[in-house]
Amino acid sequence: MEISYSMKTQELITTVRAMMAGDKGLLAMDESTTTCNKRFEEAGIPQTVEYRRAYRELIVTTPNLGQAISGAILYDETIYQATKDGALFIDLLKQAGIIPGIKVDEGTIDLAGFPGEKITVGLDGLPERLAKYYDLGARFAKWRAVITINTGIPTRGCIEANMHSLARYAAMCQEAGIVPIVEPEVLMDGTHDLKKCFDTTEKVQHVLFDQLFAQKVNLEALILKPNMIMSGLSCSKQADVDKVAEATVTCLLQSVPAAVPGVAFLSGGQSPEKATAHLNAMHVKYKGKLPWALTFSYSRAIQQPALEIWKGKDENVKATQQMLYHRARLNTIARRGEYSLDMEKVFVN
Ligand code: 13P
C-alpha cells in the first residue's frame, strides 16, 4: 500500500533520517539548571550562569564534534546562549552539521495518590513553546518520563499516566514540525535483578506504543530513547555485558514496532565504558538483524569524564574537548560493533 505523506510529515522523516545517519549518535546536553549545578558542585566548579555558559560553549565548539554527533539536545537556558564572541550556540551546531534539539518537559513532581512515584509535567502551553523553539531552529525535542522500581511499584496508574503524557507531547511535537524523542526511563536505582528490569521495561514500552497509537502519533517520525535492561545498581548479581545486550535487544524486539526508525539509548548512570561496551555488544550480536537504527543519546556517559578534566579552568578546555570527542567517537565505533576496551587508552581520531 502506498502511503502519501504531507510536506510536514516528510520533513519530520527527513530530520529523523539525518539524526540516525551512518554511525552517529545524539549528545544530550540538556541538563536542567539544577542538574547541571549538581554535577558542577561534585566537580568543584562554581554554579553560576556564566560557568554553565562557558561549559556549553566548550561543548559546541569541540573540533570535529559533527563527525560523531548528529543532534544535540539543548535546555531552555542554553538555546538562547552564545559564545564569548557572540556566536549563538544553535548556529554553531548547525554549522557543524549537528541538528539542534530541545528538552521541553518541565521535570517531575510527585504523582498524587501514588507514593514514591513521579509524573512529568509541561504539557500546558507546550504548543506555543514548540512554535517558539521551531522558529529558533530546533528540529527535535525530548520529554523524559521516570519509572521507579521498588516494592509494589511501578503501578499501572503511574505507567499509564506517564505514557499518556509522552504520547500527548509526541502528537504536539509532530503537529509543530518537530521530531519527538520519547524517553520512558526505567531507573537503574534499586536492588532488582535483570529480569525485573526486563519485565518492567517491556510493560512500559507496550503501554507507551498503545498510547502513541491512541494519540495518532506517526511512528515513522519519532525516536525512542529507552533505558538498557540492566541489573539494579544495588543488586548483588550484576549481569555481564553480553546479557545486558541480549536482554535489551530482546525486550525492544518484543515491544517496539518496526515502523519506528530509530532507538537511541540514555546512559542512565552506567560508567562511560559500560555504556559504550553495551551498545557495541548489541551490534556485534545483532548486526543486520534489527528493524530500527540503534544508537546512543548519552549525557553522562559522554560528558562526565570531560567535565572532570575541565574543572572550570580555561587552560583545561583543549583537553576537555579532546575527551568529549574521544567518548563520542568511541560510541560511533560501538555503533559499528568494532569497539574494544584497548581503544579507551589512546585518543581516537
Ligand atoms: P544520561 O545519558 O546521563 O542518562 O542522560 C540522558 C538524558 O537525556 C536523560 O534525560
Q: What is the Cα–Cα distance from 316 to 305, expressed in whole angstroms?
A: 13
Contacts of residue 90, defined as CB under 8 A and 6 or more positions apart, other chains included, come to 74, 79, 100, 136, 137, 138
CA angle 302, 246, 24 (to 5 degrees): 35
Instruction: Spell out the domains of the chain, with CATH numbers in brackets.
Output: 5-337 (3.20.20.70)
Task: State residue 2's pLDDT score.
Answer: 74
Distance from residue 185's CA to the centre of ligand 1 (Å): 9
Cβ burial 234-270 (10 Å sphere, 16+ → b, else e) = ebeeebeeeebbbbbbebbeebbeeebbbbbbbbbbb
CA torsion sign for 215, 217, 222, 226 is positive
Query: What pairs with residue 279 in β-bridges?
Result: none
User: Does the CB atom of residue 75 touch ligand 1 within 6 A?
Assistant: no
Q: Give the Cα separation of 324 and 329 in Å (integer).
A: 9
CA–CA dist 66, 75 (Å, integer): 19
Characterize 181-209 residue by residue with b for buried, 16 or more Cβ atoms within 10 angstroms of its Cβ, and e for exposed.
bbbbbbbbebebbbebbbebbbbbbebbb
Task: Give DSSP secondary structure letters for 251-310.
Answer: HHHHHS-TT--EEEE--TT--HHHHHHHHHHHHHHHTT--SSEEEEEESHHHHHHHHHHH
Helix (H, G, I), strand (E, B) or coil at 27: strand
Question: What separation in angstroms does the CA of 93 have from each of 139, 225, 265?
Answer: 12, 21, 21
* 10-residue stretch averages of pLDDT, the chain, 349 residues long: 86 98 98 98 98 98 98 98 98 98 98 98 98 98 98 98 99 98 99 98 98 98 99 98 98 98 98 98 97 98 98 98 98 98 85
Angle (CA) 161-165-166 rounded to 5° is 120
CA distances from residue 137 to 131, 175, 279, 296 in whole angstroms, order as listed? 10, 16, 30, 22
Give the residue, out of 223, 297, 304, with the most ligand 1 atoms within 8 A of its beta carbon, to mutate for a pocket test. 297
Could you give the CA distance from residue 98 to residue 26 in angstroms, rounded to a whole number?
9
Does ligand 1 have an atom closer than 6 angstroms to the CB of 211? no
What are the φ/ψ torsions at residue 179 (nearest 5 degrees)? -75, 125
Cα atoms found within 13 Å of the Cα of residue 163, Cβ hemisphere only: 25
- C-alpha distance across the termini of the chain, in Å: 45
**Ligand 1: does its nearest atom lie under 6 Å from the Cβ of 329?**
no
CA distance 101 to 182: 13
Is the CB–ligand 1 distance for residue 223 below 6 Å?
no
CA nearest ligand 1 atom 8, residue: 28
- Ligand 1 mean position, distance from CA 268 (Å): 6
Cα(6) to ligand 1 centroid in Å equals: 32
Looking at residue 82, the DSSP 8-state letter turns out to be: B
Evaluate: CB of 28 within 6 angstroms of ligand 1: yes
Would you state the pLDDT for residue 346?
82
The pTM of the full predicted model, rounded to 2 decimals, is 0.98
- Three-state DSSP class for 175? helix
Look at strands 108-110 and 118-120 and give their pairing.
Answer: antiparallel
CA atoms within 13 A on the CB side of 303: 27
